[in-house]
Amino acid sequence: MIFLQLFWTFLKIGLFTFGGGAAMVALIQNEVTVHHHWLTTQEYTDILAVSQMTPGPIGINTATYTGYTAVLNAGYGHGLAIVGSLLASFAVILLPVLLMICVVRFLQRYRSNHYVNSVFQLLRIVVVGIIAAAALQLATVESFGQPAVSLHFIASIVIFVLVFVLSMRKQSPIWLMLGSGLAGLLLYGLV
């Protein structure tokens, strides 16, 4: 039953996302491409690209789009796929929202707790590794091309390095993505 699995998976992803959108993208990637095989790596990378180019929180955008595609790939129509997208978005925010309401109610008690601080300090370090693993798992042949002397592979490496460096220098992701897409249109369309 894809809908139950989808709900449970995204409930779990929401609860275990520490460190914002990039961490959530990493968890979603692991669940949907490695464990459940609902999506191929290429499909997931395309979803990521679209989520980074559209307004809104990247975690929500990715959850919505992944829910849609997973249901569609399971052989259902567009109507049920929309139900899947709403279900995934709802599930991913449900537990964090309830938790946030509880914490706001009892705010002062938790903030300076010795144990809570220690856990978050370690989590912030671990999340760096989790995001790195997602980037490594996404750098596949489908996204970059065969590592032979092919135009696709060389162009992909150049785009990767350029976007990586420019993103470190705080260039807007929107322009980086649109620029890369334009480069793709010119390179693969004309050559």
Partner 1 sequence: MVKYCDLFWSFFKIGTFTLGGGYAMIPLMEQELVDRHRWLSQEDFLDQVALSQSMPGVLAVNMATGVGYRLRGFRGAAVAIVANVMMPIIFIITLAILYQFFKTNPLVEHFFMGVRPAAVALIAAPVFKLAQSAGISWKTVWIPVVSALLIWLLGVNPVYVILVAIALGILWAKIGKR
Positions 94 through 123 that interact with partner 1 (CB under 8 A)? 95-97, 99-101, 103-104, 107, 111, 114-123
Number of residues that bind partner 1 (CB under 8 A): 115
Nearer to partner 1, 55 or 75 (CB): 55
Select the residue interacting with partner 1 from 8, 37, 86, 109 (CB under 8 A): 86
Nearer to partner 1, 1 or 113 (CB): 113
Residues 44-83 that bind partner 1 (CB under 8 A): 45-46, 48-61, 64-65, 68-69, 72, 78, 81-82
Does 141 engage in binding with partner 1 (CB under 8 A)?
no
Task: Kindly give, in sequence order, each residue whose CB lies less than 8 Å from that of residue 179, ignoring residues fewer than 6 positions away.
Answer: none
Q: Are 6 and 71 in contact (CB under 8 A)?
A: yes
Does 1 engage in binding with partner 1 (CB under 8 A)?
no
Select the residue interacting with partner 1 from 37, 128, 147, 150 (CB under 8 A): 128
Min separation Cβ 4 and partner 1, Å: 18
Q: How many other C-beta atoms can be found within 10 angstroms of the C-beta atom of residue 68?
A: 22
Alpha carbon of 32 to those of 59, 67, 140: distances in Å? 14, 10, 16
Does 27 engage in binding with partner 1 (CB under 8 A)?
yes
**Residue among 9, 121, 130, 119 nearest 70 (CA):** 9
Which helix (H) or strand (E) is 105 found in, with range? helix 78-105
**Residue among 20, 39, 21, 19 nearest 31 (CA):** 39
Does 136 engage in binding with partner 1 (CB under 8 A)?
yes
